[in-house]
Copies of this chain bind each other. A is one copy, B any other.
Amino acid sequence: MNFKSDNTASAAPEILQALGDVNEGAVAAYGDDPWSQKLDDAFSEVFEREVRVFTVASGTAANAISVATLTPPWGAVLCHREAHIECDECGAPEFFSNGAKLVLMEGADAKVTPAALAEAATRNARGIHSVQPSMVSISQTTERGAIYTPAEVFALGETARGAGLRFHMDGARFANAVAALQCKPADISWRGGVDLLSFGATKNGALAAESIVVFDLKLAEEVARRRKRGGHLFCKGRYPAAQFLAYLKDGLWLRFAARANALAAKLADAAGVSAESNQVFIAPGAEGLAKLRAAGAQFYDWGAEGSGEARLVVSWNQAEAEVDAMCVLLKALR
């Protein structure tokens, strides 16, 4: 019963197979191979408009390059206090952006509200002496498993535009949001004003496939340059490309995400909480957590130390039996 993270899961056979399928012949390197050349089209179809996509090695790279592209070094990057870019990237956004400052917002379920954003955008009372609010970054789904609806994304986009801010979305679990909302990918990205999207597949069935989707095409050249300088232009581009092509084909990505979401809902139900995506947050107290662990469950504590909270993440291929067994344990705690 390993619910530590969806990055503990293996890769999907469809995606592994895709690596074999492209493993033939000599092709141009650095993204000039036939499969890489199809990527922009594949993503453009998914997003119902022309986009450019840049594969990178990690979600951290996708986020940090995006941030660096959207803020000058003297900018303030407005994000939630629990954002991955703030908590989990060892300062990669600061490194790539040449020292921009992350300015933090509060909000339930790690969500940013238009009101919080509007307030944060004005936090520059000292003119030349302060960093300048220049962009907002939100996570879809959030680090607390919450989902922004299309209307919510749009409202944030409006607020951002009004305040002169660029808009980045960390979509490490973008698939789970689309699957849960049963909306179009466009509805929670560019239609809502998102300029750059970190679009991840690794947590949802790929081996290593992360990317930056560029909606504002004028940014593409800068993203390309920053990717190269970051060492993220893959030499043999066919392999990350193949993963993404398989991932997007026939909605595989959404099936995986929907399945994980559904199993998470079962866990949430058993625990008496709600879950919007594939992450479930429970708070049975220290004793309860100890019992779960004693029964073989693996997961991370969450929240403040000693809070008695924990996070359960369901992977794309989590065994139903695992989930069922966990449900029994969770119900027993109530």
The complex places the Cα of A98 from the Cα of B30 at a distance, in Å, of: 24
Interface string of A72-92 (1 = CB under 8 A from B): 111000000000000111111
Q: Bound state CA distance, A60 and B56, in angstroms?
A: 13
Chain B residue with the shortest CB-CB distance to A305 = B125
Min CB distance, A84 to chain B, in Å? 9
Which one of A43-51, A225-233, A254-262, A288-296 is at the B interface? A225-233
Task: Tell yes or no: A42 within 8 A of B by CB.
Answer: no
Asked whether A159 is an interface residue with its Cβ less than 8 Å from the other chain, the reply is no
Taken together as a complex, chains A and B put the C-alpha atoms of A92 and B8 apart, in Å, by 31
Report the separation of the CA atoms of residues A130 and B89 in the bound assembly, to the nearest whole angstrom: 6
A99-134 vs B, CB cutoff 8 Å, 1 = contact: the mask equals 111100000000000000000000001101111100
Chain B residue nearest to A58 (CB atoms) is B231
Q: Which of B26, B56, B225, B236 is in CB contact (< 8 Å) with A128?
A: B225
A274 interface residue (CB < 8 Å to B): no
Report the Cα distance A232→B74, complex, angstroms.
15
Cross-chain contact A235 with B88 (CB below 8 angstroms) = no
This protein's copies in its complex: 4
Bound together, the chains give a CA A2 to CA B29 distance in angstroms of: 12
Contact with B along A1-42 (1 / 0, CB 8 A): 010110111110000100110111111111000000000000
Question: A100 near B91 (CB under 8 angstroms)?
Answer: yes
A61 to B228 alpha-carbon distance, docked (Å): 9
Q: Closest residue of chain B to A28, judged by CB?
A: B8
Q: Which residues of chain A (210-240) have a CB below 8 Å from chain B?
A: 222, 224-226, 228-236, 239-240
Determine whether the beta carbon of B72 is less than 8 Å from that of A225. yes
Bound CA span A231–B212, Å: 13
Shortest beta-carbon distance from A6 to chain B in Å? 9
* Residues of A within 8 A of B (CB-CB), count: 75
Please state if B222 and A72 are interface contacts (CB–CB under 8 Å). Answer: yes
The reply to whether B129 and A230 contact each other, CB–CB distance below 8 Å, is no
Write the chain B residue with the least CB distance to A104: B104
Whether the Cβ atoms of B10 and A131 lie closer than 8 Å is no
> Measured between C-beta atoms, what is the minimum distance from A21 to chain B in Å?
11
Q: Which residues of B contact A28 (CB under 8 A)?
A: 4, 8
Which residues of chain B have C-beta atoms less than 8 A from A23's C-beta?
10-11, 16, 207
Q: Which residues of B contact A16 (CB under 8 A)?
A: 19-20, 23
Residues on B with beta carbons closer than 8 Å to the beta carbon of A88: 126, 129-130
Residues of chain A touching chain B, judged by Cβ–Cβ distance below 8 Å, are 2, 4-5, 7-11, 16, 19-20, 22-30, 56-62, 64-65, 72-74, 87-92, 94-102, 125-126, 128-132, 202-203, 207-208, 222, 224-226, 228-236, 239-240, 305, 315
